[in-house]
Amino acid sequence: ANKFVIIGGGSTQSPSILEVLRQRSADLDMNQLVLYDIDEERVSLLGQYTKMYYKETGSPVHVSYTTNLEEALQDANFLFMQIRPGLNKQRAIDEKICIRNGVIGQETCGLGGFSFAMRVIPDIIAIIKKVKQICPDAWILNYTNPEAILSEAIYREFPEAKVICICDMPISIEGAIAQYFHKDLKDITFKYFGMNHFGWWTSMIDENGQDLLPQLREDVQSGKIDTLAQWNDETLDDQYWIDTYKRMITIFKRFPEYFPNCYLQYYLMPDVMMAESDVNFTRGDWVMQGREKRIFTECRRVLKAGTAKGSSLNSGVHGNYIVDIANAIIHNTRERFTVNQKNNGAISNFDPDAVVEVPAYIGSMGAETISIGKIPTFHKGLMELQKAYEKRTVDAALSGSYQVALEAVVLNKTIPDYHVGKKVLDELYEANKQYWPEL
Ligand code: G6P
Ligand code: MN
């Protein structure tokens, strides 16, 4: 039997995961589920809700919640990690500092990502150290952002750890592509390379062995489609994602060799992203006033009513993806997923020690990446710069060196010059004193 623990169980991303776990608990041989968080209020709201919901739907799984990490980790088999030190409040503060200075503040790209990395790296390292002591055989599946930088830190500090760093973005985009071609996602074999939130698809082979990428390219070049938004049913009520799925096609039109991950919009269309950002209402504000409010209000309503009947935990790609990977490990299915792992030759002309996002076959031994081969100069150039920034950010978080932090900041493609970089760095540091390592 398996004990699953959600580290950061008070997250608004939890409901989707909790619902998929409940539906598939028999397959996963899950008999115990623990929500762990440092935020007592949030974890108790989501924890009590989940207990009630599981019980009323007849689930045999024992659900509990705690703010005690040691207790949560005891005898654990799977740890789903999704933490956010400083919550979305700090995310919005970072976004605003960046936007006011005329640069991208997104939580994974630009200096919003830098700041989030400085907050999260020390905590993640402390948690994994505990895991090594208390439940060294447990698998850690990490969703925590900024995944690119964080995975670089994790595999550097714990090269032998049983960790798979993942993101739901590649599979979400693949789902939209499959729907566009009226195909079953499972019937298409995707080849992708890059880093997290920074990569490209080189091929998408259908069940007949035909590559769909040339057709997609033609449909974009001819103007037949200018967005993939309507083929992505999950985010159609969210203008940010509608716009993002459109900008992704714009980028593909401008750079038609490979199909881009949508997060490249922050690096290849920063002018548009800046023009569209609103310092008074950022994505962090949107999440706090939207998703967070909705979920915790619903928890409170259900707990007051004393029943979860008529309520539901929503599920979707986010929950399915991480559970699919756990399932692949448990049943040694050797299915193919796109994950973040040490390059180790997968991209032959890229640093073997760097963490990259590539397809891998996942089974009980973990992830075995596939060979990508040589990548073109354009993509490699962008990746080299980004990787240098990521590595220097990890160095800064681990060393607490101001000079190294400054180097990281100046390496980021969204930073125009030293003066802007230093000013934003100093303002971010001031606003994050409580969370960053001392510089
Ligand atoms: C996608 C990305 C995640 C990111 C999320 C942001 O799922 O892959 O890395 O956390 O979007 O969602 P939010 O609604 O918080 O902006
Ligand atoms: Mn992601």
The ipTM, to two decimals, is: 0.98
Please work out whether the CB of residue 107 comes within 6 Å of at least one atom of ligand 1: no
With the most atoms of ligand 1 within 8 angstroms of its CB, the residue from 88, 143, 145, 242 to mutate is 145
SS (H, E, C) the chain: CEEEEEECCCCCCHHHHHHHHHHCHHHHCEEEEEEECCCHHHHHHHHHHHHHHHHHCCCCCEEEEECCHHHHHCCCCEEEECCCCCHHHHHHHHHHHHHHCCCCCCCCCCHHHHHHHHHHHHHHHHHHHHHHHHCCCCEEEECCCCHHHHHHHHHHHCCCCCEEECCCHHHHHHHHHHHHCCCCHHHCEEEEEEECCEEEEEEEECCCCCECHHHHHHHHHCCCCCCCHHHCHHHCCCHHHHHHHHHHHHHHHHCCCCEECHHHHHHHCHHHHHHHCCCCCCHHHHHHHHHHHHHHHHHHHHHHHCCCCCCCCCCCHHHHHHHHHHHHHHCCCCEEEEEEEECCCCECCCCCCCEEEEEEEEECCEEEECCCECCCHHHHHHHHHHHHHHHHHHHHHHHCCHHHHHHHHHHCCCCCCHHHHHHHHHHHHHHCCCCCCCC
Q: How far is the CA of 338 from the centre of ligand 2 (A)?
A: 12
Residues 237-255 pLDDT 10s:
899 999 999 999 999 999 9
With the most atoms of ligand 1 within 8 angstroms of its CB, the residue from 143, 169, 195, 339 to mutate is 169
For the question of whether the overall pTM of this predicted structure is more than 0.90, the answer is yes
Low-confidence ranges of the chain (pLDDT < 50): none
Q: How far is the CA of 57 from the centre of ligand 2 (A)?
A: 31
Residues 325-368 pLDDT 10s:
999 999 999 999 999 999 999 999 999 999 999 999 999 999 99
At residue 233, the pLDDT reads 82
Please work out whether the CB of residue 396 comes within 6 Å of at least one atom of ligand 1: no
At residue 219, the pLDDT reads 98
At residue 141, the pLDDT reads 98
Active-site positions read: 168, 263
Please work out whether the CB of residue 38 comes within 6 Å of at least one atom of ligand 1: no
Q: How far is the CA of 335 from the centre of ligand 2 (A)?
A: 20
Please work out whether the CB of residue 427 comes within 6 Å of at least one atom of ligand 1: no
Closest residue to atom 10 of ligand 1, CA basis: 145
Q: How far is the CA of 107 from the centre of ligand 1 (A)?
A: 9
**Ligand 1 atom closest to the CA of 143, numbered from 1:** 9
Closest residue to atom 13 of ligand 1, CA basis: 287
